[in-house]
Structure 1
Amino acid sequence: MLSYRHAFHAGNHADVLKHAVVVQLLRYLGQKDKAYWYIDTHAGAGVYSLKEGYATKTGSSKRALRNCGIARICRPCSRNMSMKCPR
Protein backbone atom coordinates (compact mmCIF):
# COMPACT_ATOMS: atom_id res chain seq x y z
CA MET A 1 0.00 0.00 0.00
CA LEU A 2 1.28 3.46 -0.86
CA SER A 3 1.37 6.05 1.88
CA TYR A 4 0.79 9.76 1.43
CA ARG A 5 2.94 12.33 3.18
CA HIS A 6 1.83 15.89 2.52
CA ALA A 7 5.27 17.34 3.21
CA PHE A 8 6.41 15.92 -0.16
CA HIS A 9 3.52 17.66 -1.96
CA ALA A 10 3.14 20.90 0.02
CA GLY A 11 2.91 23.89 -2.27
CA ASN A 12 2.06 21.91 -5.40
CA HIS A 13 -0.54 23.22 -7.88
CA ALA A 14 -3.48 21.59 -6.05
CA ASP A 15 -2.30 22.99 -2.72
CA VAL A 16 -1.95 26.50 -4.16
CA LEU A 17 -5.41 26.30 -5.74
CA LYS A 18 -6.97 25.03 -2.49
CA HIS A 19 -5.46 27.87 -0.47
CA ALA A 20 -6.45 30.48 -3.06
CA VAL A 21 -10.07 29.28 -2.87
CA VAL A 22 -10.00 29.28 0.94
CA VAL A 23 -8.59 32.83 1.03
CA GLN A 24 -11.28 34.09 -1.35
CA LEU A 25 -14.00 32.32 0.66
CA LEU A 26 -12.76 33.83 3.93
CA ARG A 27 -12.57 37.28 2.34
CA TYR A 28 -16.18 36.89 1.18
CA LEU A 29 -17.36 35.73 4.60
CA GLY A 30 -15.44 38.61 6.21
CA GLN A 31 -17.63 41.13 4.38
CA LYS A 32 -20.62 40.16 6.51
CA ASP A 33 -21.31 41.56 9.97
CA LYS A 34 -21.81 38.09 11.44
CA ALA A 35 -19.02 36.11 13.03
CA TYR A 36 -17.98 32.80 11.51
CA TRP A 37 -15.77 29.85 12.35
CA TYR A 38 -13.28 28.25 10.01
CA ILE A 39 -11.93 24.89 11.10
CA ASP A 40 -9.44 23.16 8.83
CA THR A 41 -10.03 19.47 9.37
CA HIS A 42 -7.13 18.40 7.15
CA ALA A 43 -4.38 20.79 8.26
CA GLY A 44 -1.77 18.12 8.96
CA ALA A 45 1.33 19.66 10.48
CA GLY A 46 0.06 23.12 9.57
CA VAL A 47 3.40 24.57 8.44
CA TYR A 48 5.66 23.12 5.77
CA SER A 49 8.95 24.53 4.55
CA LEU A 50 9.07 24.76 0.77
CA LYS A 51 12.80 25.57 0.73
CA GLU A 52 14.17 22.51 2.51
CA GLY A 53 13.37 18.97 3.47
CA TYR A 54 10.70 16.83 1.87
CA ALA A 55 9.13 19.56 -0.30
CA THR A 56 12.36 19.98 -2.26
CA LYS A 57 12.48 16.30 -3.24
CA THR A 58 9.81 16.52 -5.97
CA GLY A 59 10.18 20.15 -7.08
CA SER A 60 6.41 20.42 -7.54
CA SER A 61 6.11 23.37 -5.18
CA LYS A 62 8.65 25.41 -7.14
CA ARG A 63 6.84 24.71 -10.43
CA ALA A 64 3.39 25.36 -8.97
CA LEU A 65 4.29 28.65 -7.30
CA ARG A 66 5.90 29.87 -10.51
CA ASN A 67 3.09 28.69 -12.81
CA CYS A 68 0.12 29.73 -10.66
CA GLY A 69 1.39 33.26 -10.12
CA ILE A 70 1.32 33.14 -6.33
CA ALA A 71 2.20 36.83 -6.14
CA ARG A 72 -1.08 37.69 -7.88
CA ILE A 73 -2.97 35.58 -5.36
CA CYS A 74 -1.23 37.05 -2.30
CA ARG A 75 -0.96 40.69 -3.23
CA PRO A 76 -4.68 41.58 -2.84
CA CYS A 77 -4.72 39.80 0.51
CA SER A 78 -1.59 41.43 1.85
CA ARG A 79 -3.16 44.87 1.56
CA ASN A 80 -6.13 43.82 3.68
CA MET A 81 -4.41 41.44 6.08
CA SER A 82 -0.97 41.38 7.64
CA MET A 83 0.18 38.70 5.21
CA LYS A 84 3.49 38.58 3.40
CA CYS A 85 3.82 36.93 0.03
CA PRO A 86 6.29 34.05 -0.19
CA ARG A 87 9.43 34.82 -2.19
Structure 2
Amino acid sequence: MNYRHSFHAGNFADLVKHALVLWLLKDRQSRGRVTVLDTHAGAGLYDLSGDAQRSREAEAGVARLMTAE
Protein backbone atom coordinates (compact mmCIF):
# COMPACT_ATOMS: atom_id res chain seq x y z
CA MET A 1 0.00 0.00 0.00
CA ASN A 2 1.37 3.38 -0.98
CA TYR A 3 0.26 5.95 1.61
CA ARG A 4 1.85 9.29 2.42
CA HIS A 5 0.08 11.14 5.19
CA SER A 6 1.34 14.51 3.94
CA PHE A 7 -1.31 14.28 1.20
CA HIS A 8 -4.09 13.71 3.76
CA ALA A 9 -2.90 15.75 6.76
CA GLY A 10 -5.57 17.88 8.41
CA ASN A 11 -8.52 16.12 6.82
CA PHE A 12 -11.82 15.46 8.60
CA ALA A 13 -10.73 11.98 9.70
CA ASP A 14 -7.62 13.48 11.33
CA LEU A 15 -9.81 15.84 13.35
CA VAL A 16 -12.08 13.02 14.50
CA LYS A 17 -9.09 10.81 15.39
CA HIS A 18 -7.36 13.51 17.44
CA ALA A 19 -10.58 14.50 19.22
CA LEU A 20 -11.18 10.86 20.15
CA VAL A 21 -7.60 10.36 21.36
CA LEU A 22 -7.81 13.49 23.53
CA TRP A 23 -11.14 12.39 24.98
CA LEU A 24 -9.82 8.90 25.74
CA LEU A 25 -6.68 10.27 27.40
CA LYS A 26 -8.67 12.69 29.54
CA ASP A 27 -11.05 9.90 30.56
CA ARG A 28 -8.22 7.52 31.47
CA GLN A 29 -6.29 10.23 33.35
CA SER A 30 -9.29 10.81 35.59
CA ARG A 31 -8.84 7.21 36.77
CA GLY A 32 -5.13 7.51 37.52
CA ARG A 33 -1.77 7.54 35.80
CA VAL A 34 -1.58 6.88 32.07
CA THR A 35 1.31 5.78 29.89
CA VAL A 36 0.99 6.21 26.13
CA LEU A 37 3.19 4.73 23.43
CA ASP A 38 2.34 5.83 19.90
CA THR A 39 3.72 3.20 17.55
CA HIS A 40 2.44 4.89 14.38
CA ALA A 41 3.31 8.53 14.97
CA GLY A 42 4.12 10.46 11.84
CA ALA A 43 6.14 13.61 11.38
CA GLY A 44 4.02 15.49 13.90
CA LEU A 45 3.96 18.68 11.86
CA TYR A 46 2.79 18.88 8.26
CA ASP A 47 3.02 21.74 5.79
CA LEU A 48 -0.52 22.20 4.50
CA SER A 49 0.76 24.32 1.62
CA GLY A 50 2.80 21.41 0.22
CA ASP A 51 1.53 17.94 -0.68
CA ALA A 52 -1.75 18.56 1.14
CA GLN A 53 -2.67 21.16 -1.47
CA ARG A 54 -2.75 18.44 -4.11
CA SER A 55 -5.55 16.51 -2.38
CA ARG A 56 -7.18 19.60 -0.81
CA GLU A 57 -8.51 17.40 2.01
CA ALA A 58 -7.40 19.86 4.68
CA GLU A 59 -9.81 22.44 3.24
CA ALA A 60 -12.76 20.36 4.46
CA GLY A 61 -11.03 19.58 7.76
CA VAL A 62 -8.64 21.74 9.73
CA ALA A 63 -8.97 24.79 7.45
CA ARG A 64 -12.72 24.97 8.15
CA LEU A 65 -12.06 24.65 11.87
CA MET A 66 -9.43 27.39 11.80
CA THR A 67 -11.75 29.84 10.00
CA ALA A 68 -14.89 29.02 12.03
CA GLU A 69 -16.24 31.84 14.15
Q: Please state which band the TM-score falls in when normalised by the shorter chain.
A: 0.7 to 0.9
2:53 to 53, 56, 68: 56
Deviation at residue 36 of structure 1 after TM alignment: 1.1
Identity of aligned residues (%): 42
Query: Who is 1:16 aligned against?
Result: 15
**Distance in structure 1 (CA, Å) of the matches to 2:51 and 2:18:** 20
Q: Please identify runs of 4+ aligned residues in structure 1 that moved more than 3 A.
A: none
Which letter does structure 2 place at the counterpart of 1:26? Answer: L
Query: Who is 1:25 aligned against?
Result: 24
Which letter does structure 2 place at the counterpart of 1:55? Answer: A
Deviation at residue 19 of structure 1 after TM alignment: 0.7
SS in 1 for 2:61: helix
Structure with the bigger RCO (C-alpha within 8 Å, sep 6+) is 2
Q: RMSD between aligned alpha carbons?
A: 1.7
Which consecutive residues of structure 1, in runs of 5 or more, have no partner in the other structure?
71-85
State TM-score, norm by structure 2. Answer: 0.78
SS in 1 for 2:50: coil
Query: Who is 1:5 aligned against?
Result: 4
Query: Who is 1:73 aligned against?
Result: none
